[in-house]
Structure 1
Amino acid sequence: MGLFNKIFNSEKKEGVEKKTSTPWIDLNSMAQLDKIEKRSEDRTIAILKHSTTCGISRMVLKMFEADYDLDENAPIDLYFLDLKAYRDISNEIAERFKVRHESPQLIVLKNREVVHHTSHQGISAGKLKELV
């Protein structure tokens, strides 16, 4: 069967563009929050809060990554927060930006302000693209 796949799938691979991975920046220190807030004056900032032990969070992450197609030069920084490892950072985000904690959750900042936040199936790479 391996030989058949090599022969017959070779045609399918032609013209198929390899999708690049999602350009996540790990959010793993409180000090990053001040830098993120300042950077939002010049770029769109998106923070995805993800629970590594939640099936829904895992599904939303996979869907988001499958749909993410922003150009690598787009003016956006995409941060990934592992809630299990960094709950204190998640709590600070909720307090600082006045957004109730949810998981999974996407928070979008521009000019130091939250311009969009959503959770669960509301998280969409397409919506994020509209906001950039």
Structure 2
Amino acid sequence: MLKKLDSVEQFDELVEKEERFFLMKHSLTCPISGAAYQEYQKYAEGQQQIPTYFLAVQDARPLSSEIEDRFQIKHESPQAILFVNGKPVWNTSHWKIKVKSLEDAAKENE
């Protein structure tokens, strides 16, 4: 199940609470992001091990920028990031966001 994040405070709580989680930066107006979001959603519905979150770039620009600045991950949209113990260990963007790539990242970072 996908959960939406809107603020830096929500993200900080998530980092403290969850050992591992995926976060997707999603643009509400980009067709490439729409296709990637569908793949991300399929992944989220097919597994229960890793919590899945997303932010809509247009609604949560401060959070998107904070993640870029804090973790030195160049902003892209769409972008999927796997966090483990509060740090990003994997990320990909655009057409590379597929169910298989998310599954592989999860397995490689158990």
Q: TM-score, normalised by structure 1?
A: 0.72
| Structure 2 counterpart of 1:59 | 35
Runs of 4+ with deviation above 6 angstroms: none
Deviation of 1:108 after TM superposition, in Å, equals 0.6
- Mapped to 1, the partners of 2:40 and 2:86 lie a distance apart of 24
- Mapped to 2, the partners of 1:125 and 1:100 lie a distance apart of 22
1:22-46 deviations in Å (ceiling 9; x for gaps): x111101211121122234x3x111
Report if the CA contact (8 A) 2:79-2:92 is conserved: yes
Q: TM-score, normalised by structure 2?
A: 0.85
Q: Which has the higher contact order (CA 8 A, sep 6+)?
A: 2
Q: How many residues align?
A: 105
Deviation of 1:125 after TM superposition, in Å, equals 2.4
Of the two, which has the highest radius of gyration? Answer: 1
Q: SS of the counterpart of 2:51?
A: strand
AA in 2 matched with 1:98: Q
What is the percent sequence identity of the aligned residues?
A: 32
Matched, 1:126 2:100: yes
| Structure 1 counterpart of 2:63 | 89
1:102-128 deviations in Å (ceiling 9; x for gaps): 000001100122110110011122232
Deviation of 1:98 after TM superposition, in Å, equals 1.4
Unaligned 5+ runs, structure 1 = 1-22
Matched, 1:38 2:16: yes
